[in-house]
Chains A and B, each alone.
Chain A
Amino acid sequence: MAERSGHYMDSFPEVSLSPAERLQFMNRFSVKRSDKCISCGMCESLCPYGVHKRVEGHTKILPPDDRKCMGPSCDVNYFFCVANCPTGSLSVGPSDNYQSMGDPRWPAEMILSTWRQAESGRPIALDDPANIGRSGGGFDKLYFRLPESQGRFDPADFDTSVRLNRRGKGEQIEIPVPFYGGGMSFGSISVHTMLARAKAAEMLGTFVSTGEGGYPDALIPFKDHIVTQIATGLFGVREATIQRSRILEFKYAQGAKPGLGGHLLHDKNTPEVARMREAVPYTSLFSPFPFHSVYSVEDHKKHLDWALAINPKALISVKVSTPNDVEMVSVGSYYAGAHIVHLDGGYGGTGAAPEIAKKNIAMPIEYAIPKVHRFLMNEGIRDEVTLVASGGLRTAMDAAKSIALGADCVVIGTADLVALGCVRCGNCESGRGCPRGIATTDPELQQMTHSDWGAQRIVNMYSSWKLQWCELLHRLGMKGISELRGRTDLLRHADKQAKEVGK
C-alpha cells in the first residue's frame, strides 16, 4: 500500500486565480466621513490598508474605499483612523450593503467566502463562521466533534473517491470527488453556465446533470461527464440523448417543489429554449407530476427498463424528494434496478417555484438521509446502492455532514452558481432572468458569464472543498471519505452541546 499513498491528487485539476472585477464591490464595513473633515491627510498617512486617499491639489480627500477596511476591531491598533482623526469626522460600522445581502440560509458571509474560494481555491478553516448558515436548524446546528489539529497533512494521502455503481451490472464508474453537479435545465440557466459546469465536471472527473430542459449540442464534447435527466415533462429527451450518457437520472420530484413538477415561466422560454423543449415560445411550461406512466413500483421498474433498453450500459439514478415514506420509495427504487438513489431535500435550489412549496412540503434533507440510510441497512441492501443527498447543501462542511449522516456522496447546484457570482437575489424566475447573467436566457445578459472563466472558478471552489474534506479526514484519523459514511457518532447537535457545557 505504501507505493499507492500520495497519489490521490494526481488527477485533480490545478487551481488558478480567477478574480472578477464585478465581485469586488462588497464592503463589510463602511467608513463614513462627516462634513467636519478638513482634509488634513492624517488618515491617509495612518491607514496601512489604503482606505483613505488624498490627491494633492484636490480640495477634498477622496471618499473612503471601505472595501479595504478591517472594521471596528481596528481600534486596538495605533493607526485606527477614527480615534486619530483630529476633527472626529470619521466613523466606522457595519455596512448597509453587507446587511442587505443574503438570507439566513445563505448569509452574506457564506456568499463572500464562496466567492473567495472560487477566486483563489484556498480552503477556509473547518470551523470558519462562513461554513455555517444562520437558519438555526439542520446543518446549521450540527457540528463535528473534532479532535485537535494534528499537524500538517498531505492532501494526496486522502481518498475522496466514490463508487457510483455498487451493483453487478452496468459500467463501473468511480468519481474522484464525493459530489456531482445537480440538474439545472437549459432555460433556467444559460448555455454558458451549463458549459462552465460541464467543463468543470470534466476537469474534476465527475458529472453534471442536464436538468429537465434537454441536452444542448454545445455539451456534446463533454458527453462522458454529462448525466441526462429524464424528468416528467420529457423536455428534449430523445433516444440520442439517452444513448449519449453514462448515467441517466429519472427525476420524480425536485426538493424545492415536491409534488408540483418543473416551472419555466413564459419570459424565459425564448425561441431556442422552446425549440429544445419542443414547445411554443414564450408560454409558461409546467411539467406534470408525477410520471403518468408510473403509479407503482412495478411501473417504476418498467420505466427504468425502458431506458435501459435504449442504453443498456447506463447507470440509473432515481431522484426523489423527501416525504415521510421516503425510505419505502428508496427501497422500491432499489428493487426496480436503480444504481443511485438521489434524495433531494426540501430546501434545495430552483429556478422558479411557488414560495409556499419551498418551506411547506416534504422534510429537509438532514432528516431524510439517516432515515433512508438506516432503513437500507436493515434491509441488507445498503452496500448495493449509492445514496446521494442534495437540497440545501451549501458548503464543504454541509456535504461532509450529509456523508456522516449516511449518504455516499452529494449533489451540488446552488454553490456552483454562487461561485459564478450569484448573489442569491432570487430573481431567476421571470423577466430577463438573472441580472448577473447566470440563470438567464437573455442573449445580452448571458454574455456576462464566460464558460472557461466560470469552469475555473467552479474548480477552484471544489479544490478548496476537497482540501477541507482532507483536513477533516486527517483530524478524524481517516484515510478515505467512505469511512465517514454513517458516522453519526461524530456529529453533535449544538443545543445539546450547550446543555452539556451548562451542566
Chain B
Amino acid sequence: MTFERYHIPIRIIPGRASPVPKFVITRADNCVNCGKCEKACIFGVHKRSEADFRKMSDPLSHLCKNCFRCISDCPQRALSMSIGSDYKALGRGIWTPLRISTIWGEAETGKIPVLGAGFRGMFAGPDYDGMWTDMSEIVRPTRDGIHGRESISTCADIGGKPSRLEFGGSSELKTVMPPSIELSIPMLLDTSRLTYHNNAILLGCAQASRLLDSIVLVSESSITQELLDVAGRRIVPVISEGSDIKTLKLDDRVHMVELSVGSSWKMAFKNLSKSYPDVVIALRIQASKGIEDKVLEMLDADVPVIHIDYDDDGRESGRGETRHAKDSMLSIHRALVSRGARDRITIITSGGIAAAEHVPKSIICGADLVSLDKSLMVALSCRNCVDCTGSTCPASIDCSDRDWVEGRMTNLVGAWRDQMLELLGAMGIREVRRLRGEIGRAIFFEDIERDMDAILSDGEKHG
C-alpha cells in the first residue's frame, strides 16, 4: 500500500437556492438609463437590459460588494444601497447573518474566507468571542507559514486509553487494549440533531464521512442497510434514551455506538459493554448545571467516551442563567485534570459551533472532538427559519441530491480544517491533540480586561 497524505477533496459546489444579497441596490424612477453605473461597477451589478437595450436591467444585488462606486457616479442620484431585509432575517441567536452567509460561502468553495481590510466586527463579545488564541514571533520554530501546513496533524482518537502498558515475562503485551478509533479530523458529522433529514441527506453525510475520514452519528431508527453499505464502520448509531438494550442488535460493521442517557445509565452501559466488548461505547448527555459531577461519576464507572450536548447557542440546558460551553467545558476539563484522569476519557462536544474558530476554541476549552450539527444544515443552504418543516423550505433542502450534500459538507469541513491549521500554525502547535485544554495558549477577555483595569486604577493612584 502506498502512503497517501491526508487530503480533503474540495470542489466548487454552488448552492441551489437563490442567493440572499447582503447589500441591495435600488434604482429610482429618475434613472435616465445613461449607463454610467455599468462602467463604474467592477463587479457586474449593473447591466443593460437584454430585452430592451435602451434600458438598464434591475441591479444584480447579490454581486454588490458595498463599494458605493455606482452611487457616487450616478449623475441622477437615482441609486441607493440598503442592507437586505432577507439577509438581516437570517438566523437567530449566535447564528448571525454573517456566520450563516460565511458557512454558505465555505460550503460552496471549500476555501478559507480571505478578505481585504482589517477586522470589522465588535472588539470582543461573550463566550467564544471573548477569546483570542496566542501565537509567538521568534522563539517557537515549529511552523513554516502557509508552507508546511501539511505536517500539522489534525488526528484525534475516540476511545479509552490505558495509562500504561504491562508486559509479561517474554515481552508479550498483557494489557487488554480497549477499543478505539482514530480519525483524521477532530470533527464528527451528527445527523441525529438535524431539524430535518431524509435519506439523501443521510447518505450524503455518510459519503462525506468517507472522504473526510470521520464518522457520522445517525439515530438508530434511521439506519438503513444502504447507509451501512455506503459507510460501514463510519456509521455510529445513536440510541435514544430509554431504549431496551437487551433487544438491541448492532450490525457487525458498527465500531462505535452512542447511548443517550439521562440520570440512570449504569445498567444500560454495563449491559452494552458486556454484549459488545469490541465496540466503542459513548454516553451522550445534555449539559446542565453540575455536569462536572456527572462526568466524574462516569469516569469512575470507566465510561471511555462522553458526548456532551449543548443547545444550538452553545448553552447548558436549564432555567435562568445557564453557562456557555466555554465555561462549562473549562470546568469539566479542570475537574478531570485535578483527578489526574484527563487522558482516560474522550470528550466530544456539540452545539453552538457556528463558525470555523469555534472548533479550535472548543478544543482549547477541553474537548477532544467537536461534533457538527446545525452547521451541516446551514451548509445545505438552510436559513434557520423559525417554522422549519422541511417541505416548505425556501432552500428546498428536501430535494437535495446525495452527491450535492456530500460535496457541500466536505467543503465546509475542509474549509474549517484549513482554518484550524492556520490557527495551529500561528500558535506553533503541530498536533490537534496537543491543543486540547491548552488554556495557557489562549487569551481570555475577562483576564486581560482585569489587567487593564488594574493598570488604569494603578495609574490613578500615582497620577
Instruction: Give residues in A with beta carbon < 8 Å to B.
Output: 22-26, 30, 63, 65, 95-97, 99-101, 103-106, 135-138, 140-141, 232, 252-253, 255-256, 258-261, 263, 265, 286-290, 292, 294-297, 299-300, 320-321, 323-325, 329, 332, 346-364, 366-367, 370-371, 374, 391-392, 414, 423-432, 434-436, 439, 445, 487-493, 496
Q: Which residues of B contact A361 (CB under 8 A)?
A: 132-135, 423, 426-427
Q: Which residues of B contact A435 (CB under 8 A)?
A: 41-43, 65, 67, 69
Interface presence of B278 (CB below 8 A): no
A425 to B114 CA separation, bound complex (whole angstroms): 14
The answer to whether A359 touches B65, judged by C-beta atoms less than 8 angstroms apart, is no
Q: Which residues of B contact A258 (CB under 8 A)?
A: 135, 137, 426
Q: Which residues of A contact B102 (CB under 8 A)?
A: 355
A144 to chain B, nearest CB (A): 12
The answer to whether A429 touches B114, judged by C-beta atoms less than 8 angstroms apart, is yes
Q: Which of A30, A294, A348, A356 contacts B419, CB < 8 Å? A: A356
Q: Which of B132, B144, B146, B451 contacts A360, CB < 8 Å? A: B132
With A138-B123, A296-B138: A392-B72 Cβ-Cβ less than 8 Å: no
Q: What 4 A-B pairs come out closest when comparing CB atoms?
A: A489-B463, A259-B426, A137-B123, A428-B116
Q: Which of A265, A286, A493 contacts B145, CB < 8 Å? A: A286
Add 10 more A-B contacts to A260-B426, A296-B139 (CB < 8 A).
Answer: A63-B30, A96-B81, A96-B82, A260-B146, A288-B147, A354-B112, A354-B422, A359-B357, A425-B66, A432-B42
With A95-B80, A321-B137, A374-B455: A351-B116 Cβ-Cβ less than 8 Å: yes
Q: Which residues of B contact A374 (CB under 8 A)?
A: 455
With A100-B82, A290-B137: A346-B66 Cβ-Cβ less than 8 Å: no
Q: Which of A137, A255, A323, A358 contacts B136, CB < 8 Å? A: A323
Q: Which residues of B contact A65 (CB under 8 A)?
A: 77
The answer to whether B137 touches A97, judged by C-beta atoms less than 8 angstroms apart, is no
Which residue of A353, A423, A492 has the most chain B CB atoms within 10 A of its CB atom?
Answer: A353
The answer to whether A105 touches B135, judged by C-beta atoms less than 8 angstroms apart, is no
The answer to whether A99 touches B83, judged by C-beta atoms less than 8 angstroms apart, is yes
Q: Which of B67, B113, B356 contacts A423, CB < 8 Å? A: B67
Q: Which residues of B contact A300 (CB under 8 A)?
A: 138
Which residue of B71, B80, B132, B462 has the most chain A CB atoms within 10 A of its CB atom?
Answer: B132
A324 to B451 CA separation, bound complex (whole angstroms): 13
A488 to chain B, nearest CB (A): 3
B190 to chain A, nearest CB (A): 22
The answer to whether A362 touches B145, judged by C-beta atoms less than 8 angstroms apart, is no
Q: Which of B72, B451, B456 contacts A25, CB < 8 Å? A: B72
Q: Which residues of A contact B72 (CB under 8 A)?
A: 22-25
Q: Which residues of A contact B423 (CB under 8 A)?
A: 356-357, 360-361
The answer to whether B136 touches A325, judged by C-beta atoms less than 8 angstroms apart, is yes
The answer to whether B425 touches A260, judged by C-beta atoms less than 8 angstroms apart, is yes
Q: Which residue of B lies closest to A255 (CB)?
A: B118
The answer to whether B80 touches A96, judged by C-beta atoms less than 8 angstroms apart, is yes
Q: Which of A135, A290, A492 contacts B123, CB < 8 Å? A: A135
Interface presence of B68 (CB below 8 A): yes
Q: Which residues of A contact B50 (CB under 8 A)?
A: none
A93 to B43 CA separation, bound complex (whole angstroms): 30
A287 to B132 CA separation, bound complex (whole angstroms): 23
Interface presence of B86 (CB below 8 A): no
A297 to B138 CA separation, bound complex (whole angstroms): 7
With A294-B138, A435-B69, A487-B459: A352-B114 Cβ-Cβ less than 8 Å: yes
Query: What's the tally of chain B residues with a CB closer than 8 Å to chain A?
Result: 74
Q: Which of B28, B82, B143 contacts A259, CB < 8 Å? A: B143
The answer to whether A99 touches B82, judged by C-beta atoms less than 8 angstroms apart, is yes
B104 to chain A, nearest CB (A): 14
What does the 1/0 interface line of B146-160 toward A look like (CB < 8 Å)? 110000000000000
Q: Which residues of A contact B144 (CB under 8 A)?
A: 288-289, 292
The answer to whether A97 touches B117, judged by C-beta atoms less than 8 angstroms apart, is no
A136 to chain B, nearest CB (A): 5
The answer to whether B124 touches A137, judged by C-beta atoms less than 8 angstroms apart, is yes
Q: Which residues of B contact A255 (CB under 8 A)?
A: 118
Q: Which residues of A contact B404 (CB under 8 A)?
A: none
The answer to whether B138 touches A97, judged by C-beta atoms less than 8 angstroms apart, is no
Q: Which residues of B contact A22 (CB under 8 A)?
A: 72-73
With A256-B118, A426-B115: A436-B69 Cβ-Cβ less than 8 Å: yes
Q: Which residues of A contact B456 (CB under 8 A)?
A: 488, 491-493, 496
Q: Which residue of A lies closest to B141 (CB)?
A: A295
Q: Which of A23, A350, A432, A490 contacts B116, CB < 8 Å? A: A350
The answer to whether A260 touches B145, judged by C-beta atoms less than 8 angstroms apart, is yes
A255 to B135 CA separation, bound complex (whole angstroms): 11
Which residue of B67, B71, B138, B145 has the most chain A CB atoms within 10 A of its CB atom?
Answer: B138
The answer to whether A97 touches B71, judged by C-beta atoms less than 8 angstroms apart, is yes
Q: Which residue of A lies closest to B123 (CB)?
A: A137
The answer to whether A431 touches B42, judged by C-beta atoms less than 8 angstroms apart, is yes
With A22-B73, A104-B120, A286-B145: A355-B113 Cβ-Cβ less than 8 Å: yes
With A259-B425, A259-B426, A353-B115: A323-B356 Cβ-Cβ less than 8 Å: no
* Listed A/B pairs (14) with beta-carbon separation below 8 Å: A25-B77, A101-B68, A135-B123, A260-B425, A263-B114, A320-B138, A323-B134, A352-B114, A356-B419, A358-B119, A359-B132, A361-B132, A427-B67, A490-B463
Q: Which residues of A contact B121 (CB under 8 A)?
A: 103-105, 135, 359
For chain B, residues 383 to 420, give those with C-beta under 8 angstroms from any C-beta of chain A: 419
Q: Which residues of A contact B118 (CB under 8 A)?
A: 105, 255-256, 347-350, 358, 391-392, 414
B26 to chain A, nearest CB (A): 8
A295 to B139 CA separation, bound complex (whole angstroms): 5
The answer to whether A140 touches B77, judged by C-beta atoms less than 8 angstroms apart, is no
Q: Which residues of A contact B66 (CB under 8 A)?
A: 100-101, 423, 425-427
The answer to whether B80 touches A350, judged by C-beta atoms less than 8 angstroms apart, is no
Q: Which residues of A contact B115 (CB under 8 A)?
A: 352-353, 355, 426-427, 429
Q: Which residues of B contact A364 (CB under 8 A)?
A: 123
Interface presence of B177 (CB below 8 A): no
